[in-house]
Amino acid sequence: MQRIGVFVCWCGSNIAGTVDVVAVAEALKKEPGVVFSTDYQYMCSQAGQDLIVSSVKEHNLTGLVICSCSPRMHEATFRKTAQVAGLNPYMVEIANIREQCSWVHKDMPIGTEKAIILGKAAVAKVNLNAPLTPGESPVTKRALVIGGGIAGIQTALDIADAGFPVDIVEKKPTIGGKMAQLDKTFPTLDCAACILTPKMVDVAQHENIRIFSYSEVTDVKGFIGNFDVTIKKNARFVNEDICTGCGDCVTKCPQKKVPNEFNLGMDNRSAIYIPFAQAVPKVATIDPAHCTMLKTGKCGVCSKVCKANAIDYTQKDEFITERYGAIVVATGFDPISMDKFDEFAYNQSKDVITSLEFERLTNAAGPTAGKLLRPSDGEHPHKIVFVQCVGSRCDSCAEKGKEYCSKICCMYTAKHAMLTRDKYPDTEVYVFYIDVRTPGKNFDEFYRRAVEEYDVHYIKGMVGKITPEGKKLMVRASDLLDGKQLNIDADLVVLATAIEPDKSARSLATMLTASMDTNDFFTEAHPKLRPVESPTAGVFLSGTCQGPKDIPETVSQAGAAASKVIGLLAKDKLKGNPCVASSDELMCNGCSSCEKVCPYGAITYENKEFRMPDRTTRVRRVASVNPAVCQGCGCCTVTCPSGAMDLRGFMNEQIMAEVDAICK
């Protein structure tokens, strides 16, 4: 039999205002197992904790019930107090009489009655509590960063600088991501390449960083501290170690009609290519879909011109398995497809472009060498219309676009409009907006500068229809403030398209058992207090894979994720949560139900030999739980049809005892 102490907290007037705490303490004295019961104004204060410790010693208590606020608030506090008093920390139960009682009731007698019932339930549970000890697991001191954009680069650099080895896996042939495609960055207008490429070089030269470019993660097993990750290195048909990146093969390749994805298909590249001059690693890659040699076996020009003998047409995809202590997801974003937005004529006219295409058109390294020219005829545009919120802020029932605000469009549109007017004073620039959202340091000043100093016409209203007519684009839109419908004969239309998470994110989330929201953004462990951690232990989030954000925010989140990873990798052993599921192998019928519902992949089945009563042995398939992976959610225990699965600290028996105590 336990010797239980009950401690009822007033929480100032938070609890005592609606609950008669003295009556609660008095009533709980009569419960089985309770040998001591008292109340105190602030149980979490030092004096309150001292009261608990001295009572444990004085009354020789073996279990504690604290009637106070939510266990989310102070369970950890009181577990530490129990430890100080020499008890196992898991011999403490919290009866939540604040959030679930005093705060939701106005009537003192009702509140008091409910508090007593909640206290009784906790007492019934503590009677069945058993001491629990968390297990320990080792930590592999190596991190994996998935995605090599600015988020991945910054996270990798920060972790590597702290002395831990980091691998970056990037599916494209080069790291750099979307930022490498940008021209200038708001609100300071520094050139994206000038600030990004030195970081890319740092990554390449860092002794603690390895880059797996043109590679993908294909499998993740294991748990925090010990993830076994399979990385598929796609065959690039060029030996990375000896290619010097001289580019001779690229100039000599006879197949030059491949749409260049780096310039969003606005010009062509050759079948063997280096995405851009500052690529890291600066290594050529053969595109097998377009290489004549790989398709027909007749060509081999690149192999002949390569002085380093780096071309290898027989190269195969390679699979590497590596163990990591932590994984950072930095898979980034893509602009959404414009296929469903016929009204903007994106598929009808080459002169209707997305903002990312506009970035390439104004970039000195882009298809037009930085001159703003119409993609259709290469002429200089005079009237340019920018449309904001294209595909953002759409209602779900509109069946196209995204419900969220893409956050970066207002600022980059202001940047585009300003730079256009600055470089080409002969242009007329219109921006159609619904709201201009500029919350950020120096953001609104930047937008006002576009209007006041650069004469950009900001018009409140949305573009309804764009019709190509001859060389012009007829833009029909409303001007809500002037109460007019406008018809503008534009030369170029730029759509500020919504952004969405990269398509690879969903399959990756499944592999990592990390949760996502309905828009496929990774969810945080807590939206405010744990914003860079995934609910899955050991998985961290960096950049736009978690939600739309601009470069400064991405970089700060990347640093935050890195610091969390460093904190994890700095430990030699990890203490687990002892409240994990365990299976009674004698009762398990091997049905696999628990394995299917487990969101963390903690349950596996194995064939085990059992001695039967007649002294024969039988092999049975039974569930086994990996306590390091199990998060104690309890899905398996409610699914198990034979009642073999049980959650330590929340045994079925304990829950039933609580229910009985409430219903008594």
Partner 1 sequence: MNKKYLREDIIRMSGVNPKKCMRCGKCSGTCPAYDEMEYHPHQFVSMVESGDIEPLLESDSLYRCLTCFACVERCPRGVEPAKLIEAVRLTAIRRQGANRLTPNDIPAMLDDEIPQQALVSAFRKYTK
Residues contributing to the site for partner 1 (CB under 8 A): 343, 389, 393-398, 401, 434, 460-465, 476-478, 480, 483, 485
Nearer to partner 1, 77 or 478 (CB): 478
The answer to whether 486 touches 479, Cβ cutoff 8 Å, is: yes
Mention every residue, 6+ apart, whose C-beta is less than 8 A from residue 384: 420, 427, 428, 429, 430, 490, 491, 492, 493, 494
CB of residue 399 to partner 1, shortest distance in Å: 8
CB of residue 340 to partner 1, shortest distance in Å: 11
CB of residue 393 to partner 1, shortest distance in Å: 6
Nearer to partner 1, 281 or 391 (CB): 391
The answer to whether 618 touches 215, Cβ cutoff 8 Å, is: no
Give the tokens for residue 588: 């398990």
Alpha helices in 453-602 (DSSP H): 504-512, 551-569, 593-597
CB of residue 536 to partner 1, shortest distance in Å: 34
Of 577, 575, 579, the residue nearest 654 (C-alpha):
579
CB of residue 459 to partner 1, shortest distance in Å: 10
3-state secondary structure of 94: strand
The gap from C-alpha 182 to its chain's centroid, in whole angstroms, comes to 23
CB of residue 357 to partner 1, shortest distance in Å: 22
3-state secondary structure of 574: strand
The gap from C-alpha 633 to its chain's centroid, in whole angstroms, comes to 21
The residue written with tokens 């001292």 in the block is 50
Nearer to partner 1, 349 or 582 (CB): 349
- Using alpha carbons, list the distances in angstroms from residue 29 to 5, 7, 67, 372: 9, 11, 13, 82
CB of residue 352 to partner 1, shortest distance in Å: 16
CB of residue 339 to partner 1, shortest distance in Å: 15
CB of residue 452 to partner 1, shortest distance in Å: 24
Nearer to partner 1, 292 or 478 (CB): 478
The residue written with tokens 């190269």 in the block is 315
The letter for the amino acid at 109 is: P
CB of residue 394 to partner 1, shortest distance in Å: 4
CB of residue 474 to partner 1, shortest distance in Å: 12
Give the tokens for residue 646: 């049980």
CB of residue 488 to partner 1, shortest distance in Å: 11
Name beta bridge partners: 119.
Answer: none
CB of residue 506 to partner 1, shortest distance in Å: 24
| Phi, psi angle pair for 659, to nearest 5° | -60, -45
Name beta bridge partners: 608.
Answer: 620
The answer to whether 487 touches 479, Cβ cutoff 8 Å, is: no
Please provide the DSSP assignment of 312-360 as one string.
-TT---EEEEEEESEEEE---EEEPP-TT-GGGTTTT-TTEEEHHHHHH
Nearer to partner 1, 57 or 465 (CB): 465
Nearer to partner 1, 383 or 476 (CB): 476
Alpha helices in 455-519 (DSSP H): 504-512
Nearer to partner 1, 396 or 616 (CB): 396
**Cα within 13 Å of Cα(119), Cβ side:** 35
CB of residue 457 to partner 1, shortest distance in Å: 15
Nearer to partner 1, 15 or 389 (CB): 389
Buried b (16+ CB within 10 A) or exposed e, 163-173: ebbbbbbbbbb
Nearer to partner 1, 395 or 609 (CB): 395
Question: How many CB atoms within 10 Å of residue 47?
Answer: 10
Nearer to partner 1, 439 or 483 (CB): 483
CB of residue 336 to partner 1, shortest distance in Å: 13
Nearer to partner 1, 267 or 489 (CB): 489
Nearer to partner 1, 487 or 642 (CB): 487
Of 172, 173, 179, the residue nearest 198 (C-alpha):
179
3-state secondary structure of 387: strand
Nearer to partner 1, 92 or 390 (CB): 390
Mention every residue, 6+ apart, whose C-beta is less than 8 A from residue 516: 505, 506, 509, 522, 523
The answer to whether 284 touches 250, Cβ cutoff 8 Å, is: yes
CB of residue 438 to partner 1, shortest distance in Å: 18
Nearer to partner 1, 50 or 403 (CB): 403
Of 138, 154, 243, the residue nearest 203 (C-alpha):
154
Give the tokens for residue 417: 């409009």
The letter for the amino acid at 641 is: P
Question: How many CB atoms within 10 Å of residue 319?
Answer: 12
Nearer to partner 1, 481 or 619 (CB): 481
3-state secondary structure of 529: coil
Nearer to partner 1, 315 or 478 (CB): 478
Q: How far apart are CA 477 and CA 427, in angstroms?
A: 19
Pairing, β 184-185 against β 190-191: antiparallel
Considering just the CA atoms, what is the radius of gyration of the chain in Å?
A: 31
Q: At what angle do helices 355-362 and 409-423 cross, to 10 degrees?
A: 30
